[in-house]
Amino acid sequence: MTDLIVEAELRETTGKGDARRMRRAGLLPGIIYGGGKPDLAITINANAIGKLLNEEAFYTSMLEVKVKSKRGKNTVLLKDVQWDPITDTAMHLDFVRVSSKDSVTVEVPVVAINFEKCPGDVAGGLLDVIRHVLEVTCRADSIPDSIEVDCANMDIGDTVHIEDITLPEGAEVQHDVNFTVLNISAPKVETAQETDEEVSADDVATEESSSEEEA
């Protein structure tokens, strides 16, 4: 069962020139491939898909792409988005066909919860998320929206490694080393030496300014 439905139309022509014309007309080009079936070049309403691209779940959910005048379901995952480096708008979408039982590897965001209640935050510690996403392997119909890390009992200096995290049933994160996901670091303390250096720099700047005025 899919979570989201995307309406699309077949794209009769391909190429950079055609893609530019489509984008000017408010359409976003894309492609559906895989699953032992022929590739489908499609167009999608840019405004409609733009709203979905702002939802985190769109990147980790099974989708149904309904292609007008084309029979059969296209149950897919969003595989890739090509972005314009200047305008930061989507330029092209790649979808790969999947079935609910397929094993897939997707990037799932890491979410730290209960940090505001933990001893480390009370003591002024800083939350440092090292891995904002994890590559999770699981069934296509069981992709978690996020991987939650409970910080409720963490103090300054505490670290959470990948092997400390309880993943959803059936989900795995392949790793050769027990890498760090997040930690709580001590707040930066301004030393007396840093303060003296700042004061000295201010004095020099003041003296130079006074010399210029006298000149």
Same domain, 8 and 73: yes
**Average pLDDT of the segment spanning 137-159:** 95
Last residue of a domain, one of 41, 68, 97: 97
Domain extent, residue 153, equals 103-185
Are 19 and 85 within one domain? Answer: yes
Q: Is residue 17 very low, low, confident or very high in pLDDT (cuts 50, 70, 90)?
A: confident
Same domain, 54 and 132: no
Model confidence at 212: pLDDT above 60: no
Single pTM value for the model: 0.76
Overall average pLDDT of the 141-161 stretch: 95
The chain-wide mean pLDDT, for the chain, equals: 87
pLDDT (tens digit per residue) in 28-84: 999 999 999 999 999 999 998 988 999 888 999 999 999 988 777 899 999 999 998
Q: What is the pLDDT of residues 197-207, one digit of tens each?
A: 555 655 555 55
40 domain-assigned = yes
Number of domains the chain contains: 2
Query: Are 155 and 180 found together in one domain?
Result: yes
Residues 42 and 109 in one domain: no
Is position 208 within any domain? Answer: no
Residue 165: CATH number of its domain: 2.170.120.20
| Res. 1: pLDDT tops 50 | no
Q: Whose structure tokens read 């972005």? A: 83
Same-domain status, 71 and 153:
no
Do 113 and 172 fall within a single domain?
yes
Query: Domain end: 55, 78, 97, which one?
Result: 97
- Give the pLDDT mean for 135-151: 94
Pair 55, 111 in one domain:
no
pLDDT tens track for 88-103: 889 999 999 999 899 9
Contacts of 64 (CB under 8 A, 6+ apart): 2, 4, 5, 6, 73, 74, 75, 76
